[in-house]
Structure 1
Amino acid sequence: MNNLLDYTLEELKVWMKENGESAFRGKQILSWIYKDINDFDNMKNISKPLISKLKENFTVNMPKIIKVYKSDIDGTEKFLLGFEDGNLIESVLMRYKHGNSICISTQIGCRMGCKFCASTIDGRVRNLTTGEILSQILVVQNYIKERISNIVLMGSGEPLDNYDNVVKFLEVVSAEYGLNVGQRHITLSTCGIVPKIYELADKEFSITLAISLHAFSDEKRKEIMPIANKHTIYEILEACRYYINKTNRRITFEYALVKEINDSKEDAKALGKLLRGMLCHVNLIPVNEIKENTYKRSSKKAIDDFSEILTSFGIEVTTRREMGSDINAACGQLRRSYIETQE
């Protein structure tokens, strides 16, 4: 059975024509899906013969909500979602004055091996399909009965390691017939798979591309991120410049500050020299401490000093506000701890 959420409007129109139906039925059906009507029998303007065909060929696969954890600090909600094959993923809802934002997963697990991230510890189980990525938003929207207006692909998994499904998701979620989320309200975070950055640039989307950099030199980056053995910082920055030229969009560089690893004033100066003059913004992230490694977060003074030095190089800097610290809201933590309790 095909998951209807994996289909674009054009693909569904083709299916309709191939099965003796008018193409416009595709848009009618998807409009019901995006109104959280997943039972074909409840689609009032669809004929019974077509409903029968839909039942024979399609399902609307939504994950089940296994658990919801709500932060007492800031109202962040973390959803543990389960698919029919038994696999679990996490999605995080963050509430801001400008609207609801959701951080979603693109893979079950991850194979990138970044040492500060819990989602990569057991490797990648499998990619999520386009519909499975999309369904996280639909399930959470239905749960909170509010619109989600901002999307961050920064949960478990490396989005560019699941390139085809992620690109299709970006096309569907921003389409008028879909959730109609403006691409400027979507951020995709990658550890830096260089060939895919070039491919993504050629799509000329209006999304924000965020690069997990975390170091100013290849030697230091290799200590934290195995991907640095494959793609140098120079290659990543060249790909970023290409992306900027193609899209005219500012790049965000994410920098997880780890105490006595990459948070010195010398690190900040070297990073400032590296990025000076580029259309970019640096997002400093106090590292999430997880039991599987000994990384400790930097002191507030070290973070403030780092930010001040980057600013002196003419680089715009923000420090990420920690959300949901009391509910293990960092990617991979909840799934892993839940699995451990079930063993």
Structure 2
Amino acid sequence: MKEDIFVLKGKRLAELQEFCASLGLEPYRAKQIYQGIYKNRYSSLEQFTTFSKEVREKLKANASFPEIQLGRELISKDGTRKFTFEVEPGKEVETVWIPSGDGDRKTICISSQVGCTLNCAFCATGLLEYKGNLQTWQILDQILQVEKIVQDRATNIVFMGMGEPMHNYFSVLKAAHILNDKDGFCLGAKRITISTAGVTTGINRFIENKEPFNFAISLNHPNPNARSSVMDVNDKHPLEKLLETARRFTQELDRMITFEYVMIPDVNMGRENAERLVKIARSVNKCKINVIPLNTDFTKWRRPTEEEVGEFVSYLRAKSGVPILNRRSPGRDINGACGMLALKGTRNEKIVQT
């Protein structure tokens, strides 16, 4: 793609207005383009039938309408579907479609980086080579392509796929605002969740900008001296500072924050760690905790048993005073569950698990 060609996708309305003005097009054309891409989900300039042939030709000569390319699709026995997309030659990401059992909630888990800048010990993505941040249009196109394939629209978007969203802050937040815009994807702010492994600089920027979106922190160990063994981000953004920032979030924005907690037996479970987690929950106050059984199997660690999960969750529910949700592991059989996105499989294949 030529660098001087304007990419229509991933742009906010003001950017499209400036571009249309540079081509001598009427100002209302920008809103038509904006709504056509995001609200109507047009996939080519030919679908803009309200445009004259002359206008379409002018846009084709000066702008591009790119798409990320589907490499493979895996379908879980629970209905979860995982897609691998090539965003640029030699650069792939994974995106997951997660329908709820009753069909009311349809979540797309999207990626923000090719690989990841971090190396969480339980996460398969951290084993991949980091190849760069995604552009805003590449983030949004994951949603557009998945919806086209499944022939349905998402009710919820979570930035919990490959990569650390706070290390691609501006592209991620720009995408989130387009998702939220009534003339864009028109998703409520509470239906958009941005997650971080604990990059406090990004969280503070999020607070200062008073961003309206749901926010989640991958906690994964309540002991400040042991968290680095699970998450290397703790070396630069230690747990004490992270919790201080989380409390600032709930106080200044007056909103609940979510802690994600991957349960690993003999590492971060047991009564001592449960007690520490309870203290954290009480100190933050406006929070909820999503617990997730360890999914990956490339480490020396093992997945907790149902009994271990039940005991851990029961203690948290009895003592913490905050909502505790067991997210379980949708898509685990296709390596689509939390921590499992690692580009496994063969290109151009479609596999259905039975």
- In which range does the TM-score fall when normalised by the shorter chain? over 0.9
* Contact in 1 for aligned 2:166/2:199 (Cα 8 Å): yes
SS at the partner of 1:338?
Answer: coil
Q: Residues 126-165 of structure 1 correspond to what in structure 2 (within 5 A)?
A: 126-165=132-171
Code of the residue aligned with 1:314 in structure 2: it is G
* Contact in 2 for aligned 1:214/1:256 (Cα 8 Å): yes
Q: 2:320 matched to which residue of 1?
A: 313
Q: Aligned-pair distance for 1:115?
A: 0.7
Q: Residues 1-343 of structure 1 correspond to what in structure 2 (within 5 A)?
A: 1-34=5-38, 35-72=40-77, 74-96=78-100, 97=102, 98-277=104-283, 278-291=285-298, 293-311=299-317, 312-330=319-337, 333=340, 335-338=342-345
Stretches of structure 2 that go unaligned for 5 or more consecutive residues are 350-354
Q: Distance in 2 between matches of 1:150 and 1:38?
A: 21
Q: Aligned-pair distance for 1:332?
A: 6.7
* Contact in 2 for aligned 1:110/1:119 (Cα 8 Å): yes
TM-score by length of 2: 0.91
Q: Tell me the alpha carbon deviations over residues 137-161 of structure 1, each in whole angstroms, 9 at most, x when there is no partner.
A: 0001111111111011100000000
Q: Aligned-pair distance for 1:84?
A: 3.7
Q: Distance in 2 between matches of 1:109 and 1:154?
A: 13
Q: Tell me the alpha carbon deviations over residues 228-281 of structure 1, each in whole angstroms, 9 at most, x when there is no partner.
A: 111121111111122122322211111111111111111101111122141001
* Contact in 2 for aligned 1:118/1:336 (Cα 8 Å): no
Count matched residues.
340
Higher relative contact order (CA 8 A, sep 6+): 2
Code of the residue aligned with 1:14 in structure 2: it is E
Q: Aligned-pair distance for 1:340?
A: 10
Q: Distance in 1 between matches of 2:219 and 2:341?
A: 24
Q: Tell me the alpha carbon deviations over residues 173-229 of structure 1, each in whole angstroms, 9 at most, x when there is no partner.
A: 111121111110111110111111011112223321110111112221010111111
% same residue: 32
Q: Distance in 1 between matches of 2:339 and 2:66?
A: 22
SS at the partner of 2:61?
Answer: helix
The range that moved more, 298-307 or 326-335, is 326-335
Q: Distance in 2 between matches of 1:148 and 1:281?
A: 23
Code of the residue aligned with 2:95 in structure 1: it is S
